[in-house]
Amino acid sequence: MTFALSNTARRFTRLALAVAWCCCTAQCASAQIKESGEDSFHRYGAEQVSRYRVGATVKARKGPVQQVLAMVAVPFTCAEQDVEIVDEEFSPQVDHVEYRPLNAFAEGGAQQMLITIPYLPGGEEASALVTFEVRTRTILPPEDTSSLRIPEKPDRELSRYLGRSPYIETKHAKVKKVLKEIVAAFEESGTEESDTSEEEQFSDWQRVEAIYNYVQDHVEYVEGPDKSAVNTLKDGSGDCQNISALFVALCRTAKVPARIVWVHEHNYAEFCLVDAEGNAHWFPCESSGTRAFGEMPLARTILQKGDNFRVPERPKERLRYASDFLIGLPVPGSGKPRVRYIREQL
């Protein structure tokens, strides 16, 4: 937790918040609803409705504090999920609560709740809790994948999901070596007697599925600490975060846009292919448990999509997850407050 900002940094923070809020007012009003239609590539199944509470409590346990700003990630509105605020509980010391998007491009990103507490007397506790109604749909597999292709000329937004991210090494020699092995084994699986060309034998959907199959077959699911894609390869084991990072690293090395999806107590990966008209389509794949490629049979509360976030208050850091964070100023003679973040499925 960082707990001190210079006057210049504080002015920058207030300016950044003002700009971000102006940009996201239409998207992040108290009721957030997004309607999404279906097509042959995006079909949705059963809808799960749940309540999800997010917030923070701050206690000035070592004397008064001022200019406190707490940042908490909240459920994220996207094609397969609608989010609406249904209840708010703010203590009197909370001046206001706002919302801002982060990395809001290509149906990805995150949304942060910003809790502002101008002054908190010593010994007092302030809290801000928001309850969301979350409607998340399962994702059915596409009906026909034959026309889907790896983007040849990805635009600026898709290009963001092709580079290196924290824990995702796309240029590492070991990742490149394994990708070559996957491609070679995949191409050898075709019938040598066939008169069709390689492009006609294999679709790009199948090429990405070969990467998925390799990761599922060669990495054993084991609970443990977070580690990079390369270390997951070396160990041959990892949890859902590690497995997702490896799949994303291999996809990006193969020029397939991919990213991590962070859901309640779990994560998985998404990859992107384009149709004949060049329109981009994102497809999920399960990292652990029941095999699911290009579909998501379980509806989990989605919090963030992406793995390389920038936060205005932390300009020198690249974050694979827009984590909870607190900044503020102690009154002379006092110390850091105690903060507790709340994120729970009701």
32: three-class secondary structure by DSSP: coil
What letter represents residue 39's amino acid? D
301 in any annotated domain: no
Residues 77 and 205 in one domain: no
Q: What is the DSSP letter of 61?
A: B
Sign of the CA dihedral 316, 15, 92, 31? negative
pLDDT of residue 201: 66
* Max CA pair span of the chain: 82
pLDDT mean by block of 10 residues, the chain; 346 residues? 37 36 35 48 94 98 95 94 98 97 88 97 97 98 95 93 95 96 87 48 92 97 95 96 98 97 96 95 94 96 95 92 92 92 95
Contact 234, 174 (CB under 8 A): yes
Rounded CA-CA distance 250/176 in Å is 8
212 in any annotated domain: yes
pLDDT of residue 200: 56
Contact 254, 154 (CB under 8 A): no
Residues 134 and 265 in one domain: no
pTM of the model: 0.85
Residue 35, class by beta-carbon neighbours within 10 Å (0-12 exposed, 13-18 middle, 19+ buried)?
exposed
Cβ count near 101 (within 10 Å): 17
Residues 159 and 180 in one domain: yes
pLDDT of residue 4: 37
pLDDT of residue 105: 83
Residues 41 and 119 in one domain: yes
Q: Of 267, 294, 321, at which residue does a domain stop?
A: 294
Helical residues (DSSP H) of the chain, grouped into ranges = 7-24, 156-159, 173-188, 198-201, 204-218, 229-235, 240-253
Tokens 């994560």: give the residue. Answer: 267
Sign of the CA dihedral 290, 296, 300, 306? positive
Residues 171 and 101 in one domain: no
Query: Which of 228, 238, 239, 101 has the alpha carbon at shortest distance from 174?
Result: 228
What letter represents residue 281's amino acid? H
Residues 163 and 288 in one domain: yes
Range of the domain at 88: 7-139+307-345
Residues 82 and 162 in one domain: no
Query: Which of 139, 140, 4, 153 has the alpha carbon at shortest distance from 66?
Result: 4
Q: Which residues lie below 8 Å from residue 180, measured CB to CB, with a gap of 6+?
A: none
The CATH number that applies at residue 286 is 3.10.620.30
206: three-class secondary structure by DSSP: helix
pLDDT of residue 38: 61
Tokens 């599925």: give the residue. Answer: 209
Query: Which of 287, 304, 264, 293 has the alpha carbon at shortest distance from 48?
Result: 264
Contact 267, 287 (CB under 8 A): yes
pLDDT of residue 87: 98
117 in any annotated domain: yes
pLDDT of residue 104: 81
CA 179 to chain centre: 24
Residues 14 and 49 in one domain: yes
- DSSP E strands in the chain: the ranges are 43-59, 65-73, 81-90, 96-102, 109-120, 125-140, 220-221, 237-238, 258-263, 266-274, 280-285, 302-305, 325-330, 338-345
Residues 111 and 166 in one domain: no
Residues 23 and 117 in one domain: yes
Residues 109 and 146 in one domain: no
Rounded CA-CA distance 154/183 in Å is 21
Paired residues of 184 in beta bridges: none
Residues 184 and 322 in one domain: no
Query: Which of 250, 251, 246, 286 has the alpha carbon at shortest distance from 266?
Result: 286
pLDDT of residue 24: 39
Q: In what order do the strands lie in the sheet with 81-90?
A: 81-90, 125-140, 43-59, 338-345
2 in any annotated domain: no
Q: Which residues lie below 8 Å from residue 288, measured CB to CB, with a gap of 6+?
A: 221, 239, 240, 243
Q: Into how many domains does the chain fold?
A: 2
41 in any annotated domain: yes
181 in any annotated domain: yes
pLDDT of residue 7: 36
Q: Which residues lie below 8 Å from residue 209, measured CB to CB, with a gap of 6+?
A: 293, 294
pLDDT of residue 249: 98
Rg, the chain, Cα only: 22
